[in-house]
Amino acid sequence: MEVLHRHSLASLHTFGLSVTASQVVTMRSVDELKALLSSDVTGTTPALVMGQGSNLLFCEDYNGTVILNRIMGIEVDETDVAYHLHVGAGENWHQLVCWTVEQEMPGLENLALIPGCAGSAPIQNIGAYGVELQDICEYVDVLERKSGDVVRLTADACRFGYRDSIFKHELKDSHIIVAVGLRLSKDWQPNTSYGPLANLDPATVTASDILAQVCATRQAKLPDPAVLGNAGSFFKNPVVSEHSYQKLAAEFPSVPCYPAAGGRFKLAAGWLIDQCGLKGHKVGGAAATPASRRQYIDKYRLL
């Protein structure tokens, strides 16, 4: 267990703001996490658990303990029909995606270059280009802060929704994700229905092709957080009624949309921002979308 006092958080979150925490503790195993929570190291202030800090905005120094979840490890159990992965919560998500494609276990390629750790994926029910975590999640292992017990929640118990889950609600402050279980079917069917992937031929496309296209698209749209602090793409695409969509489409025939549950329609938040003339709009030092972009540095590049 590594404990650092009055430690800078600038390199630990993607906005890169110059703030500090009273102390930062790095956890590399479930046993270390249990020991920490049962000790008085964290004091009376509830500890803040972080992965790679891609969804955090610190407005001031954090007067408490930050726990860095660095529980690593990938275990694979293969059956006749699927690969079952048990992934430590501290694993880098994009590196996990690239590794599965390298190992010829496709299914995650549409979710490439989403910043953060594997343990953060269920919280947000991350999704991109027609695929969401709930599509391939089998279970989530969580540690109950008070008792120290580790409990396995089925995917249904996680109550996944659009960028939502039980971890944003009832379990937000009481449980810590320590591992995620994923199921990747051996009967792989490429998902090329969304956005720029529609240009790929489903009959010949490979998981590597999809991974490359997703990475290229994200690199063209988003700045490198190592160059310009940001939290990636965090706008939720609004889901509207058919009446609202038809009304909008009558005025803007080219409005991009995708079918959603319940006969509703999902609109593209980026397109709406563009139409409002807000791309690059700034309030103080913050901007909705930077005016200039650079390619991701080598550590984010494709295989």
pLDDT tens, per residue, the chain with 303 residues: 789 999 999 999 999 999 999 999 999 999 999 999 988 887 767 789 999 998 899 989 999 999 999 999 999 999 999 999 999 999 999 999 999 999 999 999 999 999 999 999 999 999 999 999 999 999 999 999 999 999 999 999 999 999 999 999 999 999 999 999 999 999 999 999 888 899 999 999 999 999 999 999 988 888 888 788 888 777 788 999 999 999 999 999 999 888 888 899 999 888 898 888 888 788 887 777 543 333 333 333 332
User: Which positions ≥6 away from 237 have C-beta within 8 Å?
Assistant: 266, 267, 268, 269
The label of the residue with tokens 């991350």 reads: 126
Taking CA atoms, 2 is separated from 23, 41, 117, in Å, by 10, 11, 19
What is the pTM assigned to this prediction? 0.87
Q: Which one-letter amino acid corresponds to residue 248?
A: L
Structure token pair of residue 71: 């529980």
Quote the CA–CA distance of 125 and 148 in Å, as a whole number. Answer: 25
Quote the CA–CA distance of 263 and 247 in Å, as a whole number. Answer: 15
- Which is nearest to 143 in space by CA: 154, 152, 131, 132? 152
